Chain A
Amino acid sequence: MTSPMYILRSPNIAARRIGGELMLMASSNASLYSLNDTAALLWDAADGNTPLDVIVGTLCAQFDVSQDVAYTDACEVVEQLAANGILQLSHAPFQTEGSTS
């Protein structure tokens, strides 16, 4: 069994909704990113303490898509976001403000 994956919004990213779209700006280099709906949902849910499969399960309950397919797609998206410094990934929960561990 693979260990759970946790995702956390990177610091130093400013996120704003513009015209119904989530736009992010990295303060390190002023790069701008527009997130599609799926990526935006993952960004919103990336609290560092909820496992990705639980996040995907919640999303599957809202959309008509199988858990396996959605999880595979979500992994691809979060890896792309991590590659651009937008999300941090870990196989353990992040120590964030308000986390209990």
Chain B
Amino acid sequence: MTIISSHAVDVGIGDLWVRLHTTSAEFAATMAARFAGFMGQVETPDYEFTITLVPPAPEERQEDDVQVWREGSLWRMTRNDFTASWDPVARRGQAEMLLSPYSLDSLLRIVHTVMLAQEGSMLMHASSAIRNGRAYVFTGVSGAGKTTISRLAPTDVHLLTDEMSFIRRTSSGYHAYGTPFAGELARPGENIHAPLAGIFLLAQGPENRIDTLTPQEAVRGLMGNILFFAKDPQLSAAVFDAAIALANAVPVQRLTFLPDQRVWDLIGNTQ
């Protein structure tokens, strides 16, 4: 009889727990290293994934596009480095992927986008931080200054991420959570959360200034930065509604800033 040992790793991001199963001790160690600070043990995870490792294809596919689609009751996801399916009712999925933390990162982000949309929550291309017990999200296109504003944060600011913010709608309002998803800063955020007090669309300019936005501008700004992949009408409408609800509940403003620390004088600097 062949006994194949199984490893299970619980990863919790944004209070959403996934149990990852693998038969590879090496991959379990890779996951543990990748998600250090976001590991734990829960009795019942929110969902489970069984990961099967596959060797790199002899001729790697050139396209790097993520494809996500609904097939019956399953979601299917594919990229050049993984294929996966996920059953949202059973809350179980399986994936074949390369032994790479980046592949797993991407898979988790995709599954989270699907799960979060159903509850009006989201992942957003944004840095975020907590100051004086309140969270602030800084979003914008690549180069707008997400990492820059994180680097400029004073010592009383707790960074949640400089790359991918996790925003959950709860019975007590919106909260921003720390994530292990790092950008140029190359370090994970703190695994803490706080009520979301403001969202800033970043622009670099000649002065530090905050401008109000119309509701339409706010929704456009959010929609341009919320992470979602599926071209599924129901899911897209849910994401659209989530952006509208968020813009109604939390101030969304444009933050123009000079790349120096004085910009933080404008942000959450009151008890």
- Chain B residues with Cβ below 8 Å from A18 are 215-216, 219, 244, 247
| Docked pose: A32 CA to B215 CA in angstroms | 14
| Docked pose: A29 CA to B228 CA in angstroms | 11
Contact B215 A19 (CB under 8 A): yes
Contact B237 A14 (CB under 8 A): yes
Q: For chains A and B in complex, what number of residue pairs have CB atoms within 8 angstroms?
A: 41
| Docked pose: A21 CA to B228 CA in angstroms | 24
In the complex, how many angstroms separate the beta carbon of B60 from the nearest chain A beta carbon?
27
Contact B237 A27 (CB under 8 A): yes
- Chain A residues with Cβ below 8 Å from B216 are 18-19, 21, 23, 34
Contact B223 A32 (CB under 8 A): yes
Contact A16 B240 (CB under 8 A): yes
Evaluate whether A25 and B236 lie within 8 angstroms (CB atoms) in the complex, with A16-B241, A16-B244, A32-B223 already known.
yes
Contact B220 A27 (CB under 8 A): no
- Chain A residues with Cβ below 8 Å from B132 are none
| Docked pose: A99 CA to B189 CA in angstroms | 56
- Chain A residues with Cβ below 8 Å from B247 are 18
| Docked pose: A27 CA to B232 CA in angstroms | 6
- Chain B residues with Cβ below 8 Å from A3 are none
User: Whose C-beta in chain A lies nearest to the C-beta of B232?
Assistant: A27
A1 near B: Cβ within 8 Å?
Answer: no
A residues contacting the other copy or chain, number (CB 8 A): 15
- Chain B residues with Cβ below 8 Å from A29 are 231
B214 near A: Cβ within 8 Å?
Answer: yes
How many chain B residues sit at the interface, stated as a range, is 10 to 19
| Docked pose: A16 CA to B231 CA in angstroms | 18
Among residues 207 to 223 in chain B, which have CB atoms less than 8 Å away from a CB atom of chain A?
214-216, 219-220, 223
Among residues 117 to 172 in chain B, which have CB atoms less than 8 Å away from a CB atom of chain A?
none
A90 near B: Cβ within 8 Å?
Answer: no
A69 near B: Cβ within 8 Å?
Answer: no
In the complex, how many angstroms separate the beta carbon of B91 from the nearest chain A beta carbon?
25
- Chain A residues with Cβ below 8 Å from B215 are 18-19
Among residues 9 to 40 in chain A, which have CB atoms less than 8 Å away from a CB atom of chain B?
11-12, 14, 16, 18-19, 21, 23, 25, 27-30, 32, 34
In the complex, how many angstroms separate the beta carbon of B172 from the nearest chain A beta carbon?
25
B233 near A: Cβ within 8 Å?
Answer: yes
User: Whose C-beta in chain A lies nearest to the C-beta of B228?
Assistant: A30
| Docked pose: A29 CA to B230 CA in angstroms | 9
Contact A12 B233 (CB under 8 A): yes
- Chain A residues with Cβ below 8 Å from B232 are 27
User: Whose C-beta in chain A lies nearest to the C-beta of B235?
Assistant: A27
Contact B233 A19 (CB under 8 A): no
Q: Digit string of B82-112 for contact with A (CB within 8 Å is 1, else 0)?
A: 0000000000000000000000000000000
Evaluate whether A14 and B219 lie within 8 angstroms (CB atoms) in the complex, with A19-B214, A28-B231, A29-B231 already known.
no
For the A-B complex with A16-B240, A19-B215, A28-B231 known, give 20 more contacts whose Cβ atoms are closer than 8 Å.
A11-B233, A14-B237, A14-B241, A16-B241, A16-B244, A18-B216, A18-B244, A18-B247, A19-B216, A21-B216, A23-B219, A25-B223, A25-B237, A27-B233, A27-B235, A27-B236, A29-B231, A30-B228, A30-B236, A32-B223
Task: Name A's B-contacting residues (CB within 8 A).
Answer: 11-12, 14, 16, 18-19, 21, 23, 25, 27-30, 32, 34
Nearest 7 CB-CB pairs, A to B?
A19-B215, A27-B236, A14-B237, A27-B233, A12-B233, A25-B240, A14-B240
Task: Name B's A-contacting residues (CB within 8 A).
Answer: 214-216, 219-220, 223, 228, 231-233, 235-237, 240-241, 244, 247
